[in-house]
Amino acid sequence: MNLELHKIPIRKLRFGDETKVDGDTLSINQKELRELLLSDAALAEVEFDLAHPGDNTRIMPVKDAIEPRCKLEGDGEVFPGFIGPVETVGSGKTLVLEGMAVLTTGRLVAPQEGIVDMSGPGADYTPFSKTCNLVMVLKPRDEVKLHEAEQCCRTAGLKAAHYLAGKCKETKAGQVESFEFPDLNEAMKAHPGLPKVAYVYMLQSQGLLHDTWVYGVDAKRILPTLISPTEIMDGAIISGNCVSACDKNSTYVHLNNPIIKALYKRHGKELNFVGVVITNENVTLADKQRSSSYAIKLAKMLGVEAAVISEEGFGNPDADLVLNCVKAERAGIKTVLVTDEYAGANGASQSLADSCAEGTAVVTGGNANATIILPPMSKVIGDIGQADVIAGGFFGSKRPDGSLEVEIQAILGATNELGFNKIGAYTI
């Protein structure tokens, strides 16, 4: 599979009569986009706003972030199972509006969404303070059930992202990146002498509203399977979970997974990157054992000598992470684990809910329990009233002057477990 990402740099957003790119500025026709989104009977209202890096603006609570993409050539369409039919993606040419994101917000389903500050100390913790953001404040109909509201808002974000990219198909890309993923017969013979490395990609799937979607199917329903990294770049994996914002893998992050990019960068030089094994995170011991055994079986079938294993979330998923690590190491596969920590405000508590002697190489995205004061902003998009109940907030988080006292857990992407964040640490 060979995928070309045709990237159009976007450095400014504005509303206009036509959705198009002019230089590095994207104009957006609100009326046209609103009509598209309101064709979903579950959605009552949608309002749009813009936020740029450096603005004195706070956005909360953010549900998802999506990078606008669409297919130019090749099978299927981006976000398969949501946009167009369920066809295998990951080859051909895909248009990317690089430098911007669609953010969905509003009082949606639960208090488990995050804060994005476009300036100030909070901006240092979220990667989405550096993107030009089209913010959609969504209001599902009152009679719609919570899980249906989540589905409605998830789909609205994907539709908007696809619409924006689709309107720019005639614009010449500023940069083209190529990613090739050969068939296994070729991959196994390539780069003799270099260690074969796989990526075990754990997806949040712990229950209702803790969902990740793979080709339109809830990841709770899958057995671990092989997937091309280029399929992921085309939106085969979609975020649908309402978890702590700090280590949530938004759809934008799945599209731009830094672990995959790092493995590609080292491919053919330091290692032979032979594939991605996606696996789920389960709530019963039997399911944890089944998925971990199956994931490591696939890694063994690839004949890999090492694996990078990343998790999403904390607490219960730590058990899945440790099971994957133990079974891989005992199978002779060296592991590197990528996680974050919930070690208390002072960092003195146990970082993970589970551990093992085999886990000797660990990358951390930081301590989500660390606290921060976010100063007041002149503009708030969304609902600041959720600060007292958002994950990482507490009663009294919202101060009279408009400032917030929260754990960095409340900031979108602050301790992201794929490394799509601003902080980290290591121990030797």
Model confidence over 335-387: pLDDT tens digits?
A: 999 999 999 988 889 998 899 999 999 999 999 999 999 999 999 999 888 88
Kindly state whether residue 116 falls inside one of the protein's structural domains. Answer: yes
Q: What angle do CA 386, 352, 201 make, to 5 degrees?
A: 85
In a domain, 416, yes or no: no
Instruction: Pick the catalytic residue from 132, 242, 246, 325.
Output: 242
Question: What radius of gyration, in Å, describes the C-alpha atoms of the chain?
Answer: 21
Per-residue pLDDT of the chain (428 residues; tens, 9 = 90+): 899 999 999 999 999 999 999 999 999 999 999 999 999 999 999 999 999 999 999 999 999 999 999 999 999 999 999 997 899 999 999 999 999 999 999 776 665 689 999 999 999 999 999 999 999 999 999 898 888 888 899 999 999 999 999 999 999 999 999 999 998 889 888 999 999 999 999 999 987 778 999 999 999 999 999 999 999 999 999 998 888 999 999 999 999 999 999 999 999 999 999 999 999 999 999 999 999 999 999 999 999 999 999 999 999 999 999 999 999 999 999 999 999 999 998 888 999 889 999 999 999 999 999 999 999 999 999 988 888 888 888 888 999 999 999 999 999 999 999 999 877 655 66
Active-site residue flag, 242: yes
Other C-beta atoms lying within 10 Å of the C-beta of residue 77: 22
Helix, strand, coil shares of the chain, percent, nearest 5, are 25, 35, 40
- Give the separation between CA 166 and CA 184, rounded to whole angstroms: 33
Q: Which residue shows structure tokens 């010449």? A: 172
The answer to whether position 131 is within a domain reads yes
Nearest to 407 by CA among 354, 370, 382: 370
Tell me the two tokens of residue 255. 């599209």
Q: Which of 201, 236, 268 is nearest to 75 (CA)?
A: 236
302 phi-psi bin (left φ>0, alpha ψ -120 to 50, beta other): alpha
CA distance 1 to 92: 8
- Provide the pLDDT for residue 428: 61
Rounded to two decimals, what is the model's pTM?
A: 0.95
From 243, 232, 392, 394, select the one nearest 314 (Cα to Cα): 243
**What does the chain come to in residues?**
428
* Cα dist from 123 to 14, 21, 126, 165, whole Å: 22, 27, 6, 26
Residue pair 102/131 in contact (Cβ under 8 Å)? The answer is no
- The number of folded domains in the chain is 1
- For strand 69-73 and strand 2-9, is the pairing parallel, antiparallel, or unpaired? unpaired
pLDDT score recorded for residue 266? 96
Instruction: Please report the pLDDT score of residue 109 as a whole number.
Output: 63
**pLDDT tens, residue by residue, 100-124:** 999 999 776 665 689 999 999 999 9
Contact of 323 with 330, CB cutoff 8 Å? no
Give how far the C-alpha of residue 25 lies from the chain's centroid of Cα atoms, to the nearest Å: 25
Interstrand relation of 2-9 and 92-98 (parallel, antiparallel or unpaired): parallel
Token duo for residue 53: 């890096």
275 sits in the region (left: phi over 0; alpha: psi -120 to 50; else beta) called left
Residue 427 lies in a domain: no
> Which residue segment(s) compose the domain that 60 sits in?
2-410
Task: Assess if residue 415 is contained within a domain.
Answer: no
Continuous segment of H or E residues that includes residue 229: helix 229-233
Token couple for 182: 């050969």
Q: What would the 3-class secondary structure string for 195-215 be?
A: CEEEEEEEECCCECCEEEEEC
Q: Is 71 part of any domain?
A: yes
